[in-house]
Amino acid sequence: MEITKLMEQFDYEQLVFCQDKTAGLKAIIAIHDTTLGPALGGTRMWPYACEEDALVDVLRLSRGMTYKNAAAGLNLGGGKAVIIADPNTGKSEALFRAFGRFVESLNGRYITAEDVGICVEDMDIVRQETKHVNGVGAIAGSSGDPSPVTAFGVLRGMQACAKAMWGSEQLTNKKIAIQGLGHVGYYLSKFLHDEGAKLVVTDINEANIARVVQETQAAVVGHTDIFGVDCDIFAPSALGAIINDDTIPQLKCKIVAGAANNQLKEDRHGDILREKGILYAPDYIINSGGVINAADELNGDYKRDRVFKALEIVYRNIEEIIAISERDNISTNKAADILAERRIGILGKVRSSFLPRN
């Protein structure tokens, strides 16, 4: 892989490879774009099969964060980090403190938070080495676990899609298939249950399934059977690239709207969904609740009720994206890019004006 050519293709600013033999740390931090502000994006801990897989993932995720933060109306750029390790067996104080020191070395260009495989307690350890971290639990005024906020944003995005598809945002008796019942998927299942939806769920972790079934009475299918469930909404809420040439022919839904990042394996898969009459809620639009939550914490006086009010931008953005898609006869993922790039372009020019230093 020619890394610098790949960075040039999508205009990445910085790629940092992190290694600490004593702590057992192998990590990559990618900063895609800081036009709107410092790069904010979570840290993912995953046992990648090879370093190239980890690199591809962190590059895709960091670019997605640029668009997510821009579309959410935040003064933040896009970045991401991955730690190459099994979150079930590879965690230690030394590892997270070593990672925190690498984050600190970037002097605020990158702000980290939780992602797949990482919890609030892990971020508490990272914060012992750097102040450039969000979502910690031990500090007064911090936002804590962003999962409930992200899940509620996904719910509002689903409701916007439902209104566009069926004329009403009500999800009562709608059959919704959720793939992935981790932090966000769990809270999403609870919100949907409260809305009266009928749930079909799956996860690779049996404990996650048992908890959701106990609390929501959801039906369960195998993790490879979820794509073929006859449902109203399919909600991918695990890892990315799940909408692809193999899974699209299996889909029996009218809407794809979930919490996972990078749901489309390739942009062209958004075109295929449109051709099949399936409404796709672009991932970085519908799952932006986490960064909206983190941005409020950066203000210094975090208020959870204010964050939930701010989540209405998810609903409005979905409506605008659908309108752009219909106006220009393009897929919703391309419409989302237009929305994000428009804000980056306008504010990039505004912020280029010279201001003298004090």
| Residues that are catalytic | 80
The Cα–Cα gap between 290 and 41 comes to 9
Token pair in block for residue 81: 């980090």
- Helix 51-71 and helix 289-298, axial crossing angle in degrees, nearest 10: 70
∠ CA 316-343-272 to the nearest 5 degrees? 65
Structure-token match 């958004």, residue found: 270
On the 0-12 / 13-18 / 19+ scale of CB atoms within 10 A, 20 is middle
Q: Give 214's Cβ-side CA count (13 Å radius).
A: 6
**Alpha-carbon radius of gyration of the chain:** 20
- The three-point CA angle 116-122-124 to 5° equals 135
Residue type, 148: P
Assess contact for 209 and 202: CB atoms under 8 A: yes
